[in-house]
């Protein structure tokens, strides 16, 4: 395996609040390529967006100013308003106006924030709180339609403006929706290679739409199921594919398999050659991929239960490897399996003894969760 790297460098970035129509009316590849890095945070109720853009720079380092929710006071005000909105969802448009007004200004272009930072920190984004993240990749050219239709549905505009067949009555969502673009065409054209399950577009740049929902104090927002069902339906209709590492929920393995066609067949062939017994397969893979049900080491779900007080909406997930001995147990039963315990949407603190097999995975997970926004730390 060969890694291509570049020397460390700094970036000079700026961000400002603009009306959403400024972006949609000027939507093109050129808009996204004016600077080396560009991303947008869309505020659906305000119908505005924050444009963040950056280039490599040799200027002296200059840290950004402290922002409203970047400080302790704003951080906890926002967190507790989100918690209150779980019981009073109608306040969310007002919360969006207040918090992002304090953060970026109450009027478009009221001020521009700038900084010069090392790229390793300048490209990072503070995710603030535990969250659900549902992100899809779709052709860049479908972006304006996707945003306009989702905006019309969220704001309960006439149905003919969105044609999304899901109930939006009394539904209020969190913000922002992240909008960003990548372009892998140059790599594909020069190497004629790409990952079998690559969700990006090969004929034009790829747009990523990321519908984030916060989990204040580990609690799930009441809008999640309806919002994500409608969001995923729209993404599929516009030719989108789900981001493999995010929380897609309303698509099955048959639909996913159809999205990838022969690439899915080739992926499963290579996967089975490398792991014929399913050592690296779990309940998630069985649910989302057309995996043959003949893997003796596949991890199967035994059950889930709410963790209760102090854990938010955290769930204890229990599973078992189907047959770790390869002998089906003395009586051919399930007892030959190795028990695996994980915490979903909750802090990763085990309360039960684990096998060596799962403990090794657990230690690796402890390293990863430090940067994982979807894990709740109370």
Q: What is the pLDDT of residues 113-152, one digit of tens each?
A: 999 999 999 999 889 999 999 999 999 999 999 999 999 9
Question: 362: pLDDT confidence band, cut at 50, 70 and 90?
Answer: very low
Q: Is residue 37 part of a domain?
A: yes
Is 285 among the domain residues? no
- 327: pLDDT confidence band, cut at 50, 70 and 90? low
Beta bridge partners of 116: 12, 62
Find out whether 34 and 23 touch, Cβ atoms under 8 Å.
Answer: no
Examine residue 375 and state whether it is found in any structural domain, yes or no.
yes
The whole-number pLDDT of residue 355 equals 37
- Both 185 and 63 in one domain: the answer is yes
Residue 333 binned pLDDT confidence (cut-offs 50, 70, 90): very low
Inform me whether the pLDDT recorded for 158 exceeds 80.
yes
> For the residues 189-195, what does the mean pLDDT come to?
82
pLDDT at 342: 62
**Domain assignment of residue 363, yes or no:** yes
Whether 58 is in a domain gets the answer yes
Phi and psi dihedrals of 268, rounded to 5? -65, -35
Percent of the chain with pLDDT over 70: 85
Q: Confidence class of residue 2 from pLDDT cuts 50, 70 and 90?
A: confident
- Enumerate the β-bridge partners of residue 70: none
Average pLDDT over residues 336-364: 45
Quote the pLDDT of residue 184.
86
Check residue 369 and give its pLDDT.
40
Q: Is the pLDDT of residue 365 over 90?
A: no
336 pLDDT exceeds 60?
Answer: no
Summarize pLDDT for 76-110 with one digit per residue, the tens.
999 999 999 999 999 999 999 999 999 999 999 98
Residues 314 and 169 reside in one and the same domain: no
171 and 22 in a common domain: yes
CA distance 96 to 333: 54
Whether 364 has a pLDDT exceeding 70, the answer reads no
- Residue 194 clears pLDDT 80, i.e. is over it: yes
- Which two tokens mark 35? 């600077």
Q: How far apart are CA 97 and CA 158, in angstroms?
A: 23
Q: Do residues 119 and 243 share a domain? A: yes
- Are both 133 and 242 inside the same structural domain? yes
Q: Give me the pLDDT at residue 344, please.
A: 62
Which residues lie closer than 8 Å to 293 by C-beta, 6 or more apart?
286
Q: Same domain for 241 and 337?
A: no
If asked whether residues 350 and 231 sit together in one domain, one would say no
Q: Give the pLDDT of residue 370.
A: 38
Same domain, 30 and 165: yes
Distance from chain centroid for Cα 152:
22
192 assigned to some structural domain: yes
pLDDT reading at 363 higher than 60: no
Sign of CA dihedral 251, 255, 260, 264: positive
Where among 216, 251, 286 does a domain terminate?
A: 251
Top pLDDT among 266 and 364 is at: 266
Assess whether 345 and 217 both reside in one domain. Answer: no
The CA radius of gyration of the chain, in Å to the nearest whole number, is 23
Query: Which of 232, 251, 270 is the last residue in one of the domains?
Result: 251
Instruction: Average the pLDDT over each of 5-9, 278-282, 334-338 and give the range with the smallest value.
Output: 334-338
- Please give the residue range of the domain that contains residue 356: 296-378
pLDDT number for residue 301: 87
Among the candidates 214, 232, 251, a domain finishes at 251
Give the predicted TM-score (pTM) of the model.
Answer: 0.86
| Count of domains observed in the chain | 2
Q: SS in 3 state form for the chain?
A: CCCCCCCCCEEEEEEEEEEHHHHHHCCCHHHHHCCCEEEEEEECCCCEEEEEEEEEECCCCECCCCCCCCCHHHHHHHHHHHHHHCCCHHHHHHHHHHHHHHHHCCCCCCCEEEEEEEHHHHCCCCCCCCEEEEEEEEEHHHHHHHHHHHHHHHCCCCHHHCCCCCCCCCCCCCCCEEEEEECCHHHHHHHCCCCCCCCCCCCCCEEEEEEEEECHHHCCCCCHHHHHHHHHHHHHHCCCEECCCCCCCCCCHHHHHHHHCHHHHHHHHHHHHHCCCCCCCCHHHHHHCCCCCCCCCCEEEEEEEECCCCCCCCEEEEEEECCCCCCCCCCCCHHHCCEEEEEECCCCCCCCCCCHHHHHHHHHHHHHHHHCCCCCCC
pLDDT of 3 reads 86
Kindly state whether residue 283 falls inside one of the protein's structural domains: no
Report residue 284 as tokens. 């998630």
Query: Max CA-CA distance within the chain?
Result: 73
Strand pairing of 206-214 and 241-242? Answer: unpaired
Q: How confident is the model at residue 294 (pLDDT cuts 50, 70, 90)?
A: confident
Same domain as 213, residue 341: no
pLDDT of res. 326 = 61
Say how many Å lie between the first and final Cα of the chain, rounded.
Answer: 40
**311 in the same domain as 239:** no
pLDDT, mean of residues 246-269 = 95
**CATH number of the domain to which 87 belongs:** 3.40.462.10
**Do both 188 and 318 map to the same domain?**
no
Q: Specify the pLDDT at position 192.
A: 79
Residue 370 burial (CB count, 10 A):
8
Given a cut of 80, whether residue 349 has pLDDT beyond it is: no
Per-chain mean pLDDT for the chain:
86
Length, in residues, of the chain: 378
Residue at 271 is within a domain: no
């Amino acid at each position: 395996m060969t890694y291509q790297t570049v020397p460390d460098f700094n970036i000079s970035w700026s961000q400002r609040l603009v009306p959403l129509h400024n972006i949609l009316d000027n939507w093109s590849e050129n808009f996204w390529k004016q600077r080396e890095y560009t991303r947008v945070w869309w505020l659906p109720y305000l119908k505005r967006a924050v444009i963040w853009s950056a280039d490599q720079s040799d200027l002296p380092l200059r840290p950004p100013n402290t922002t409203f929710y970047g400080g302790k006071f704003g951080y906890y005000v926002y967190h507790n308003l989100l918690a209150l909105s779980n019981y009073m969802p109608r306040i969310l448009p007002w919360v969006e106006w207040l918090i992002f007004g304090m953060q970026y200004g109450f009027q478009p272009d009221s001020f521009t924030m700038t900084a010069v930072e090392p790229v390793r920190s300048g490209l990072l984004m503070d995710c603030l709180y535990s969250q659900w993240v549902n992100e899809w990749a779709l052709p860049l050219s479908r972006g304006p339609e996707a945003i306009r239709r989702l905006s019309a549905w969220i704001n309960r505009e006439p149905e003919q403006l969105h044609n999304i067949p899901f109930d939006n009555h009394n539904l209020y969502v969190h913000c922002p929706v992240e909008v960003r673009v990548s372009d892998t065409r140059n790599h594909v054209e020069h190497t004629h290679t790409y990952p079998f399950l690559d969700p990006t577009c090969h004929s034009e740049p790829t747009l990523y739409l990321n519908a984030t929902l916060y989990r204040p104090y580990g609690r799930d927002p009441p809008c999640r199921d309806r919002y994500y069902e409608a969001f995923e339906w729209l993404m599929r209709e516009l030719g989108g594919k789900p981001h493999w590492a995010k929380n897609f929920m309303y698509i099955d393995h048959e639909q996913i398999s159809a999205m990838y066609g022969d690439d899915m067949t080739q992926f499963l062939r290579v996967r089975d050659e490398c792991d014929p017994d399913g050592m690296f397969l779990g309940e998630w893979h069985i649910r989302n991929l057309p995996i043959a049900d003949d893997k003796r080491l596949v991890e199967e779900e035994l059950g889930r239960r709410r963790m209760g007080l102090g854990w938010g909406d955290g769930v204890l997930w229990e599973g078992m490897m189907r047959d770790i001995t390869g002998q089906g147990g003395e009586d051919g039963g399930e007892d030959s399996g190795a028990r695996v315990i994980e915490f979903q949407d909750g802090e990763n603190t085990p309360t039960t003894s684990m096998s060596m097999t799962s403990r090794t995975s657990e230690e690796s997970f402890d390293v990863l969760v430090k940067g994982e926004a979807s894990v709740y730390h109370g």
